[in-house]
Amino acid sequence: MPTADNKRIQERVLHAVLYEACAMAMLVPLAALLTGNGMGQMGVLALMMSGVAMLFNMLFNALFERAERRWGLQRTVWVRSAHALLFEGGLVVMLVPLAAWWLDTSLWQALLLDLGFFAFFLPYTYLFNLAYDRLRQRVMQGRQTVLSQSE
């Protein structure tokens, strides 16, 4: 059974897909409304950005968890905040050029759009991962209880 330190690839994929699907359901309509771009154009951009973000999510979280183990870090408010800031900062570097190209706009305008996304995703990342970790802990405890009772 995987622990917090030993997640299977299937769980990492599930985590990334849930993260992106929940975010897109909220963000695409909001971005289309605020930018004046169509839902289709923003939806396709969101899918492209989501693909990049999901791959980065899995890689980043694996590396971050390795750092947590190596340095003996606990998931405090500060560690969770550092996680969210580093994750979102990495995405800015990758996604601004993509948004500028897709929307046929300047890097500056794409950066401003991405800052809006950042304002959404920073608290979203923190809250989503907090909720995911708590739900995961309950599921794992439930499995452990079931295994203990069957022995």
Whether pTM > 0.75 for this model: the answer is: no
Predicted confidence (pLDDT) per residue in 66-75, tens digit: 999 999 999 8
Question: Phi, psi at residue 8, to the nearest 5°?
Answer: -75, 160
Please tell me the distance from the alpha carbon of residue 29 to that of residue 77, in angstroms, as a whole number: 30
Please tell me the distance from the alpha carbon of residue 145 to that of residue 148, in angstroms, as a whole number: 5
Residues for the chain: how many in total? 151
Report the SS3 class of residue 73. Answer: coil
pLDDT at 6: 63
> Looking at the domain assignment, is residue 3 inside a domain?
no
pLDDT at 5 over 60: no
> Looking at the domain assignment, is residue 141 inside a domain?
yes
Report the SS3 class of residue 114. Answer: helix
Q: How many domains in the chain?
A: 1
pLDDT at 3: 47
DSSP H/E element including 131:
helix 107-150
Mean pLDDT of the chain: 88
> Looking at the domain assignment, is residue 1 inside a domain?
no
Ordered alpha helix ranges (H), 36-106: 39-71, 77-103
Predicted confidence (pLDDT) per residue in 93-142, tens digit: 999 999 999 999 999 999 998 888 888 888 999 999 999 999 999 988 88
- The answer to whether the CB of 100 falls within 8 A of the CB of 114 is no
- The answer to whether the CB of 48 falls within 8 A of the CB of 97 is no
Confidence band of 16 (pLDDT split at 50, 70, 90) = confident
> Looking at the domain assignment, is residue 4 inside a domain?
no
Tokens 């995911």, located at residue: 132
Residue from 78, 92, 91, 75 nearest 130 by CA: 75
Estimate the crossing angle of helix 39-71 against helix 9-35, to 10 degrees.
Answer: 140
> Looking at the domain assignment, is residue 113 inside a domain?
yes
Confidence band of 151 (pLDDT split at 50, 70, 90) = low
> Looking at the domain assignment, is residue 123 inside a domain?
yes
Predicted confidence (pLDDT) per residue in 103-117, tens digit: 999 999 999 988 888
Task: Give the range of the structural domain holding residue 129, as residue numbers without chain letter.
Answer: 9-150
Express as a percent the part of the chain with pLDDT over 90: 52
